[in-house]
Amino acid sequence: MSQNTHEEIQQILDRAVAEDGIPGVVAEVHDTDGMWFGTAGVADLATGRSRQLGEHLHIGSSGKAFTAATVLTLAAEGRLSLDDPVNTWLPGVMETGGYDGDKITIRHLLNHTGGLFLTGLAPELQHSMVTQPTRVWTTSELVKLAVSQPPAGEPGEQFVYSNGGYYLAGAIIEKATGNTYAAEVERAVIRPLDLTHTHVRPADATGYPDPHPAAYITGALKDGVDPATLTAENWASMIDHDNPPTDVTALNTSWGWAAGGIVSTTEDLTRFLRAIATGGLLPPAQHHEMWTMVTNGGVVWLPHARYGLGVIEFDSAGMDGLTVRGVSGTLPGSFTLALSTDDGRRSVAIHTNIEPKTLDLPIKIIKAVYGVALA
């Protein structure tokens, strides 16, 4: 990658801080010429400490790929099947929610086509995050949360992004193995890839290993808004984004768990992504399953992006013939996007210590690294 490209990426990072209100941002780029790392802004607004290589980051929903890879490892070992109904492993769990656990399969859970509602907008979760930011959610509470609202559709009917499906997948991992979710992710993913700076965040964690950036939010519910009234259609209009940055580094994230409870670094995340993108972690059959995209899901969030099992892939028409694969995740105070070509030769991982208000940053980074203007 040329020096001009590195300079272009650095300019993008600088503008994100100067114009978009992002406290700090990093980008790690790998290609055949080696690695380039760039930063802008600060890791901590209070101290002015700079961002740096090797920071421990909460990668949010990028952790779904770790869950999917663990399930696929169990499938390769013959310990479960993606076509197993949920009731095979968690009998009766879905009965109280109006769901059919005999029709919803593990595959449905992982590619968000099981008809589960958008769990992140569950009133009790939204209310808890506002009024009890240090609350520790148990596995049983998360499984109940997954089916606490009526179905969004029939199994296999449509793509509806739902953390609840991953809560159920995590519970199935534990039921099938007799081990904790964290132990199985360690066995199936972290140790084989030697991800020495990656772990499942403990449910009661109140901090991160050093070094790490502080996490900030500016968005908050508008005055007078009842969290119980939030829906998938109205939630964006209920957020006030004009608040000064608030430090939420100590926020409890146990509600992420198997849907997004991984702490990693840009280096480890890049290694993980390149392994799953190229077939370096899973056997061929399971690698194929992971990258079988949902055909009826439409655009996930970035133009031309489709969803597989915990992962995204851009269709080649949108990427000028390239196959670009990735993971992404947000949570209060953190945004992560990691992308790689399917041969692993060109990758990028970015992180901001606040959730960006627009898609400008990832779209500009994609154009700089892959030469494609998404539209």
CA dihedral 314→318→323→328, nearest 10 degrees, is: -30
Over residues 171-201, the pLDDT tens digits come to 999 999 999 999 999 999 999 999 999 999 9
Q: Which burial class, exposed, middle or buried, applies to 178 when counting CB atoms under 10 A from its CB (0-12, 13-18, 19+)? A: exposed
Spatial contact of 50 and 43, defined as CB atoms under 8 Å apart: yes
What pLDDT is attached to residue 318? 67
Q: What is the chain's pLDDT, residue by residue, as a tens digit (375 residues)?
A: 678 899 999 999 999 999 999 999 999 999 988 999 999 999 999 999 999 999 999 999 999 999 999 999 999 999 999 999 999 999 999 998 889 999 999 999 999 999 999 998 888 887 787 778 899 999 999 999 999 999 999 999 999 999 999 999 999 999 999 999 999 999 999 999 999 999 999 999 989 999 999 999 986 667 677 766 666 556 556 666 677 889 999 999 999 999 999 999 999 999 999 999 999 999 999 999 999 998 645 445 677 889 999 999 987 766 778 899 999 999 999 999 999 999 999 999 999 999 998 889 999 999 999 988 776
251: part of which helix (H) or strand (E)? none
Show the tokens assigned to 73.
Answer: 């490892």
**Phi and psi (nearest 5°) for 295?**
-85, -20
Residue 301, Cβ neighbours under 10 Å: how many?
12
CA distance 295 to 175: 30
Q: 10 Å Cβ neighbour count for 225? A: 18
CA–CA separation, 267 and 272 (whole Å):
9
Q: Report the candidate in 326, 336, 130 with the shortest Cα–Cα distance to residue 213.
A: 336
Q: Which amino acid is at 27?
A: A
| Domains of the chain from N-terminus onward | 3-370 (3.40.710.10)
Q: From 87, 64, 29, 300, select the one nearest 189 (Cα to Cα).
A: 64
What does the pLDDT read at residue 299? Answer: 45
CA distance 347 to 295: 25
Give the pLDDT of residue 6. 94
- C-beta atoms surrounding 182 within 10 Å: 21
Is-cis flag, bond preceding 362, omega within 30?
Answer: no
- Residue 16, amino acid: A
Residues of the chain by 3-state class (helix, strand, coil), percent to 5: 35, 15, 45
Element of type H or E holding 336? strand 334-341
| Tokens encoding 5 | 């490209």
**Burial of 31 by CB count in 10 Å (0-12 exposed, 13-18 middle, 19+ buried)?**
middle
pLDDT at site 197: 98
pLDDT of amino acid 231: 61
User: Tokens for 91?
Assistant: 């009998």
Q: What is the pTM of this model?
A: 0.94
List 35's β-bridge partners, or say none.
30
Cα–Cα distances (Å) from 253 to 20, 163, 332, 357, in that order, read 26, 13, 9, 21
Predicted pLDDT of residue 349: 98
- Residue 150: asked if its preceding bond is cis (omega within 30°), the reply is no
CB contact at 8 A, 172 and 89 = yes
